[in-house]
A and B are shown apart, each in its own frame.
Chain A
Amino acid sequence: MDLNWLSIVEAHRGLKEKKFSSEDLLNACLAQVKKGKYLNNFITVVEESARARAREVDAKLARGEEIGILEGIPAGIKDLFATKGVRTTAASRMLENFVPPYDSTAAGRLKEAGYVLFGKTNLDEFACGASTEHSYFGPSLNPWNKACVAGGSSGGSASAVAAGQSFFALGTDTGGSIRQPASLCGCVGLKVTYGRVSRFGVIAMASSWDTIGPLTRTVEDAAYVMNCIAGHDPYDSTTPEVAVPDYTVHLSEGVKGLRIGVPKEYFGEGVDEEVRQIVMAAIKEYEKMGATVKEVSLPMTKYGVAVYYVTMPTELSTNLARFDGIRFGHKPEGKEGVEDLTEYYKTSRGEGFGQEIKRRVMVGTFVSSAGYADAYYKQAQRARTLIIKDFKQAFEEVDVLMAPVSPTPAFKVGEKTDNPLAMYLGDALSIPPSAAGVPALSLPCGFTKGGLPVGLQIIGPQWSESLILQAAAAYEQATEWHKMRPEL
């Protein structure tokens, strides 16, 4: 049996029935990581502490004690989450040697639930990018075609889950960073309602956009991870005290009567013809299952990328101001002329940050600077209000929206690295839900003729994660896409 390919639910059942141990599960993951080393999905692997943790769970099982659903389940999480005692780099030279003295809330909750942390997954530096090519540690590759990118920024997380290296992963999604790599690699990725999962201890990118969510191989697994990580946190004042439901209870209730909206702007110019057809076929499947489908319009869609690439860099440049090479960060060595503090800051940051970070920090510094802030930053914030209005109006008529996640399947490594704007335009369909703070999920819904996965994006109103998961589960149960495995 290929233990590493089990779902969380199957692995949990096997542990309880003593068919295998937590250490067996860990060994299966580590072997798969080794086999797929060329994918470059892990920045750090912590075998020793993981093995110790797995053995604790096995001892508990041997004593006949009960275990929770995530207990003894090995996983890697994005290297943006502070993990106590485990190096956390944000895929940046700036934090190459940073070992946090505390846990992020999300990682802390998983730890309390007994998961086995065995590695930190690769990402674009500080979560800025759509391909992981901006990682200081090199790009993660797509398990379906190693000439292609894994997507980003949670590319290592998505590729690791899709390649059977990790039972699940955590990612972060600011403008598409969970959904897009999930779509490109062929796994489930949930971007939650802004504020549903605590951001405490997760290195901030754009604070009013950042969200945290699971990447899994099945919808049910995503629901179980959500049960663990969702909810108010006194350490994150942007987590409202909205009750956390059991996300698994409605998964088998189907979609009869579900009102699906198909936003016409998400199928227009720039969307690959094959992607369009595959996604439309998936929506047809929903009609067969008893849902109703109608076309809707989100006229602000075309402004999403511009709104994002003004407001996000502004928040990013503010957040990254804390990386000064003093409290933490990169220390320039043996540099002549680094005499005073300003020169030290500039050298630390000039050397510590990669190209994409410097580019975005400068865009953010410019559009929020005196004389330009009203035309760029404030105008973008007003436009964001109009994007929110688009979604509010659409959700008066329909329960969920369905569309592609990414206008194209995975692209070739190197294809867009010299053209940042081309890379940004790939976020056009994932940014608007982020702007509105609403939840959205990427669900595997087919493959191109070239053998690359395509994801269906299911978008719902704020706090509708249960409904989105229910809709996703219905399609998953009716199709076989989630059973496809890449050959490493």
Chain B
Amino acid sequence: MKLTKEQVEKIAQLARLKLTDEELERYAGQLTDILTYVEVIKELDTTGVPETSQVTGLMNVTRKDEARGGGKLVPSGASSSYVQGPLPDELLECSPLEKVDHQIRIKRIM
């Protein structure tokens, strides 16, 4: 599979990555090498072979639909003890952007 610079540009757009011209050139070559290599799997006859998407054998693991965190005591995951879950404002603090009235201010969408 040979990728052109234009195709790489399209992939980068899909992946929301801004790339320089120099990067586009370099990735066209490197992605072509990688895709050419992985094409070895095409020689395998996999007729009737199911796809593996996970290896635990677990199915439909569910839990009660109840809010966690919010400063409430929640299971620590570590033992039977309880810890205080993160507060909404603590989570907002993870954002590098300006916070206004407990919300993150972002760039215009349209």
A 366-390 binary contact with B (CB < 8 Å = 1; else 0):
1101000001101111111110100
A 413-455 binary contact with B (CB < 8 Å = 1; else 0):
0000000110010000000000011000000000000000000
B 69-103 binary contact with A (CB < 8 Å = 1; else 0):
00000011111010101110011011111000000
Known: A112-B81, A237-B61. Contact between A310 and B38, CB under 8 A? yes
Chain B: interface residue total (CB-CB under 8 A): 61
Binds B, one of A54-62, A193-201, A288-296: A193-201
Asked if B109 CB lies within 8 Å of chain A CBs, one says: yes
A330 contact set on B, CB distance < 8 A: 96
Binding site for B on A (CB under 8 A): 97-103, 105, 108-109, 111-112, 194-195, 198, 200-201, 208, 233-238, 240, 302-303, 305-307, 309-310, 317, 321, 324-331, 338-347, 349-351, 353, 358-359, 361-363, 365-367, 369, 375-376, 378-386, 388, 420-421, 424, 436-437, 462
Q: Are B94 and A327 in contact (CB under 8 A)?
A: yes
A-B contact pairs, 30 of them (CB 8 A): A100-B94, A103-B78, A105-B77, A105-B78, A109-B78, A109-B79, A112-B78, A208-B55, A235-B75, A235-B77, A236-B77, A237-B58, A240-B56, A303-B41, A339-B107, A340-B109, A344-B106, A346-B13, A346-B16, A359-B27, A362-B11, A362-B31, A365-B15, A367-B35, A369-B11, A376-B35, A381-B52, A384-B52, A388-B52, A421-B30
Set A97, A382, A424: member contacting B46, Cβ < 8 A: A382
Q: Are A385 and B27 in contact (CB under 8 A)?
A: no
Q: Is the interface of A mostly helix, strand, loop or mixed?
A: helix
Q: Are A309 and B49 in contact (CB under 8 A)?
A: no
A362 contact set on B, CB distance < 8 A: 8, 11-12, 15, 17, 27, 31
Residue from the set A331, A358, A366, A381 with the largest chain B CB neighbour count within 10 Å: A366
Instruction: Please measure, in the bound complex, the distance between the C-alpha atom of A363 and the C-alpha atom of B49, giving whole angstroms.
Output: 24
Known: A194-B55, A349-B17, A421-B33. Contact between A233 and B109, CB under 8 A? no
Set A108, A305, A437: member contacting B56, Cβ < 8 A: A437
Q: Are A307 and B31 in contact (CB under 8 A)?
A: no
Instruction: Please measure, in the bound complex, the distance between the C-alpha atom of A317 and the C-alpha atom of B38, giving whole angstroms.
Output: 17
